């Protein structure tokens, strides 16, 4: 018998349902009346940073080759009887998957045959099939993918920055691994990591949009295979607070210079709460949104273009970075301006009016996101895996004060923790 817990927000006027299934799986179901489409994501807390891990039923940590999480994502769609994509095509559903630093997720979207689509999802993710021949074939395919990303300027500029910021944390390593590391992958490695990280106690299922709680749970009761209560701990080398180097430059085939500027957060054993995330979002919105003084100055000086300039807080297990990026004819002038704005804001502080305006805008944007089944399911899963809750995060925007933002800014904006990565055109006059 499943015990269904309701999570409800009177402020948002929304609710969804949570179940800890007897199999070990965490299930989140977010019905949206009047929506025609259904979106589901079945994910595991296993990403590219999980090269070293310790199982709760073992005494010693294990280190594996880089790229296994991404390799597994590719291989799970295959079976002895065909592939999951063709099964989805027959019922008119769209399927995909992706591996990030923290998670691997398998998903589908459809406007009909939702229960069949969910049954396919729960089936193939729980049915690994690896042989020497299929692994060798996939090594060639992923090797080509790695080389493709090596030639992608946007990919290179980001990872060059991460390697300038981080000494030891695997966040600096490519998600797909390297040609050398994937050459070490064997069926035994894949089954070992699958049986460790695809334990249902380490996974979650989120279904949103046109869905029924009882129907979803009945299908889960039918399809889920109970897992042993094994927990997995991520193991990382100690990461110094200091950066590796302040500048990284490279030349590639780009029309104009591109850059990524980063501020490395000193982490320690900090667990960022929902409010920490919301406060950081407000801080960055005040500092760099298209209505900010910094953005207007950069635009008026023709140092950025409106379409490419971006900023975000990029965080996870053992890492946190504020990123600013885009195209610029003079990337170092942009970075100097960002540092100057950091100094100015720290000296003057933000006002309650600044915070109220920004928080109201971000609250509205998050509320609008609750009209998208895709946004709902992925956001709910991200919060679930990080020990946070979706509604609590959105509600925090109504509670933030100037004192919260100023304290966060003081702790986060450290100029000695900044670095910049630049990709220059191959030709000087390009």
Same domain, 139 and 205: yes
- The CATH number for 412's domain is 3.30.830.10
Give the three-state DSSP class for 60.
Answer: coil
Cα–Cα distance, 64 to 68 (Å, whole number):
8
Same domain, 251 and 222: no
**Single residue among 234, 269, 291 that ends a domain in this structure:** 234
User: pLDDT band at 427, cuts 50/70/90?
Assistant: confident
Catalytic residue among 14, 33, 58, 73: 73
- Does residue 263 register a pLDDT over 50? yes
What are the DSSP calls for 373-427, one per residue?
Answer: HHHHHHHHHHHHHTT--HHHHHHHTTT--HHHHHHHHHHH--GGGEEEEEEEESS
Same domain, 78 and 132: yes
- Residue 212: name the closest of 376, 31, 40, 380 by CA: 31
**Residue at 430 is within a domain:** no
Same domain, 193 and 256: no
**Residue at 132 is within a domain:** yes
Model pLDDT, residue 388: 95
| pTM of the predicted protein model | 0.93
**Single residue among 201, 234, 267 that ends a domain in this structure:** 234
Model pLDDT, residue 430: 41
User: pLDDT band at 301, cuts 50/70/90?
Assistant: very high
- Does residue 306 register a pLDDT over 90? no
Same domain, 391 and 266: yes
Model pLDDT, residue 80: 73
User: pLDDT band at 268, cuts 50/70/90?
Assistant: low
Cα–Cα distance, 259 to 265 (Å, whole number):
19
Model pLDDT, residue 96: 95
**Single residue among 234, 258, 286 that ends a domain in this structure:** 234
Model pLDDT, residue 148: 87
Model pLDDT, residue 2: 80
* Mean pLDDT of the residues in the chain: 94
Model pLDDT, residue 83: 87
Beta strands in 125-254 (DSSP E): 203-209, 232-234, 247-252
**Residue at 188 is within a domain:** yes
User: pLDDT band at 271, cuts 50/70/90?
Assistant: confident
Query: What is the domain extent for residue 169?
Result: 4-234
pLDDT tens figures, 368-393: 999 999 999 999 999 999 999 999 99
Which two three-digit tokens encode residue 12? 């948002």
Model pLDDT, residue 266: 85
Tokens 């704005």 belong to: 341
Same domain, 87 and 175: yes
Same domain, 136 and 61: yes
Same domain, 164 and 289: no
**Half-sphere exposure for 51 (CA within 13 Å, toward CB):** 22
Same domain, 158 and 267: no
> How far does Cα 269 stand from its chain's mean position?
20
- Does residue 410 register a pLDDT over 50? yes
**Residue at 241 is within a domain:** no
Active site residue 395: no
Same domain, 81 and 143: yes
Model pLDDT, residue 269: 62
**Residue at 240 is within a domain:** no
What are the DSSP calls for 5-51, one per residue?
Answer: EEEEETTTTEEEEEEE-TTS-EEEEEE-TT---EEEEEEES--TTTT
How many independent structural domains does the chain possess?
2
Least confident range from 100-104, 176-180, 256-260, 283-287: namely 176-180
**Residue at 75 is within a domain:** yes
Same domain, 337 and 388: yes
Same domain, 264 and 210: no
Q: What percent of the chain has pLDDT over 70?
A: 98
Average pLDDT of span 9-33: 94
**Residue at 162 is within a domain:** yes
Least confident range from 144-158, 237-251, 359-373: namely 144-158
**Residue at 342 is within a domain:** yes
């Amino acid at each position: 018998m499943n015990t269904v817990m309701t999570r409800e927000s009177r402020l948002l006027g929304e609710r969804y349902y949570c179940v800890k299934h007897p199999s070990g799986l965490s299930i989140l179901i977010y019905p949206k009346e009047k929506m025609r489409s259904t979106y589901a994501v079945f994910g595991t807390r296993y990403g590219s940073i999980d090269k070293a891990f310790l199982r709760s039923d073992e005494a010693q940590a294990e280190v594996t080759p880089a790229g296994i999480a991404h390799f597994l994502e590719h291989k799970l769609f295959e079976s002895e009887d065909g592939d999951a994509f063709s099964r989805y095509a027959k019922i008119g559903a769209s399927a995909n998957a992706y591996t990030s630093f923290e998670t691997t997720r398998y998903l589908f979207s459809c406007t009909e045959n939702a229960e069949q689509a969910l049954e396919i999802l729960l089936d193939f993710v729980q049915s690994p099939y690896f042989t020497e021949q299929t692994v060798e074939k996939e090594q060639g395919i992923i090797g080509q993918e790695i080389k493709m990303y090596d030639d992608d300027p946007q990919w290179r500029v980001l990872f060059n920055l991460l390697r300038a910021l981080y000494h030891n944390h695997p966040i600096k390593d490519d998600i797909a691994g390297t040609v050398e590391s994937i050459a070490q992958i064997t069926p035994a490695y894949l089954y070992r990591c699958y049986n460790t990280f695809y334990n249902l106690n380490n996974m979650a299922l989120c279904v949103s949009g046109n869905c029924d709680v009882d129907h979803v749970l009945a299908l889960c009761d039918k399809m889920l295979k109970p897992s042993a209560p094994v927990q997995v701990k991520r193991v990382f080398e100690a990461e110094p607070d200091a950066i590796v180097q302040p500048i990284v430059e490279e030349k590639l085939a780009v029309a104009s210079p591109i850059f990524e500027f980063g501020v490395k957060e000193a982490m320690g054993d900090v667990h960022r709460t929902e409010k920490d995330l919301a406060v950081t979002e407000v801080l960055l919105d005040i500092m760099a949104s298209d209505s900010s003084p910094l953005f207007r100055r950069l635009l008026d000086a023709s140092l950025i273009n409106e379409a490419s300039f971006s900023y975000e807080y990029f965080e996870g297990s053992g890492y946190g970075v504020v990123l600013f990026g885009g195209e610029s004819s003079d990337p170092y002038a942009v970075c100097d301006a960002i540092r100057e704005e950091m100094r100015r804001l720290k000296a003057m502080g933000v006002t309650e009016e600044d915070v109220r305006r920004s928080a109201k805008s971000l609250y509205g944007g998050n509320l609008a996101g609750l009209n998208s089944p895709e946004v709902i399911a992925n956001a709910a899963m991200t919060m679930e895996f990080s020990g946070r809750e979706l509604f609590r995060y959105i509600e925090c925007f109504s509670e933030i004060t100037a004192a919260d933002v100023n304290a966060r800014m003081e702790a986060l904006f450290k100029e000695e923790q900044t670095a910049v990565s630049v990709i220059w055109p191959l030709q000087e006059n390009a």
